Structure 1
Amino acid sequence: MNEKNSEAQSKPKKLPKEARRAQLLETAKGVLRERGADALTLALVAECAGVTKPVAYEHFGTREGLLIELYREIDGHHLDALRQALQAAAPPRLAAVVAAVCESYLDCARDNGAEWQAIAAALRGSEAMAAVQQELTEAYVRELQRAFAPFSALPAAALRLRCIGVAGAAENISRELIRGQASESAVAAALRGLMTELFDADRPAAAGHKTSKAPRR
């Protein structure tokens, strides 16, 4: 009886496929934080999660596949956070939209920024990773376009390019926070100032909104 109980306890608990995948990704994030990207392998993740290696390989195929899925998950949380922040900013005002974009980006950088950048560095040169990054950047830029469109008279193509610039600047400026080279308040001020400068001057004329100062007499 005791031997049967001991054997049952040693076997990994059977989980639904999606739950097991989520568990493996969470385990991989822990390995990434504690040991770095170079140490992250499917075999190690399987060992830390208490499952056999074939289980990990079944979910991700390769180490590259695991890293890409980790990157997708972190980026997905970031995009969800942006959408929620923009919804909370309704009715939209430029200052509220700028604050929502800034705060959601800094939250992501604070929580997962080091892992995010470690994964990108580990997969530099990977064609699959480059395609995923392009796909995720486009999704983020579309959200920015929708958010900033009411405050810009630019054509859609020009607005898209400006939003790509915002995304790139946010990533590079937040890197200084992750590296400990700038304070959160300094990074937030830089991002807010950049977005305000980019969109405030281009907002369409509206009732009660002055686009230029009256000449002095």
Structure 2
Amino acid sequence: MSSEDNAAPRKRLSREQRRRQLLEVAWQLVREEGTEALSLGRLAEQAGVTKPVVYDHFETRGGLLVALYQDYDARQTAMLEAALAGCPAELPGRAWVIAEAWVDCVLSQGREIPGVSAALAGSPELAALKQAYEGPFLDKCRQALAPFAPGGDVGGAGLRVLVGAADALAQAAASGELEAAMAKLELQATIVAMVLRQ
């Protein structure tokens, strides 16, 4: 009996399982080699599948980048929803939950998300998709913070302040420039000040 006869048969992954596997390998590639190394051919090679399998899931490199951003966005939204569910109904507590969810999500993704975000910003179509995925997350932030705004709502400019500060502080924490706790505290203070100006 040959060793091939003794080998267990390979289990075929479902479409969703294969997509999950490909996304995990793509995140690993970005982590280890940077976004520039990410191509559909390289992903197929690293995942041990044929190129048509990867093309069937993502079609283009841009499609893969969008899928990575969607994956990140889904995690960030889930973290925020879970945190808000048990959050006290007061402004500092809600601001802390948002700050903590944002920073923790970026830290959990390491240095990969800045590269994916930068690659998405490189084309107007991909940048528009990134903004579309930010929308629902920002709506959740608006709903959580609006009751504490003197005018009863948080405007678009305030939400842009939140995104800018959150991105900058979370990236500083991810790069080791700031301690995570300090980034969260500064973001919380920024959110509170922004809401009180609304």
TM-score (norm 2): 0.90
Shift of 1:57: 0.6
Assess if the C-alpha contact under 8 Å between 1:141 and 1:164 holds in 2: no
User: Which structure 2 segments of 5+ residues have no match?
Assistant: none
Secondary structure of the residue aligned to 2:176 is: coil
Q: Which moved more, 1:174-183 or 1:20-29?
A: 174-183
**1:116 maps to which of 107, 113, 116:** 113
Partner of 1:5: 5
1:70-116 Cα distance to aligned partner (Å, 9 max, x none): 11111211111111111111x41212101110110111121115211
Partner of 2:168: 172
Partner of 1:138: 135
Partner of 1:190: 186
How far, CA to CA, are the matches of 2:193 and 2:7 in structure 1?
65
How far, CA to CA, are the matches of 2:3 and 2:142 in structure 1?
62
Partner of 1:104: 101
Secondary structure of the residue aligned to 2:71 is: helix
Assess if the C-alpha contact under 8 Å between 1:166 and 1:195 holds in 2: yes
Partner of 1:206: none
Assess if the C-alpha contact under 8 Å between 1:67 and 1:119 holds in 2: yes
Letter paired with 2:47 = A
Shift of 1:186: 2.2
Seq. identity, %: 33
How far, CA to CA, are the matches of 1:6 and 1:47 in structure 2?
26
Shift of 1:172: 1.6
Partner of 2:60: 62
Letter paired with 2:182 = A
Larger Cα-atom Rg: 1
User: Which structure 1 segments of 5+ residues have no match?
Assistant: 203-217
Compared CA separation, residues 192 and 123, structure 1 to 2 (3 A): closer
How far, CA to CA, are the matches of 1:122 and 1:109 in structure 2?
16
Compared CA separation, residues 32 and 201, structure 1 to 2 (3 A): closer
Partner of 1:51: 49
TM-score (norm 1): 0.82
Please give the root-mean-square deviation of Cα atoms over the aligned residues, in Å: 2.1
Letter paired with 1:46 = A
How far, CA to CA, are the matches of 1:14 and 1:24 in structure 2?
14
Question: Relative contact order, CA 8 A, sep 6+: which one is greater?
Answer: 2
Secondary structure of the residue aligned to 1:168 is: helix
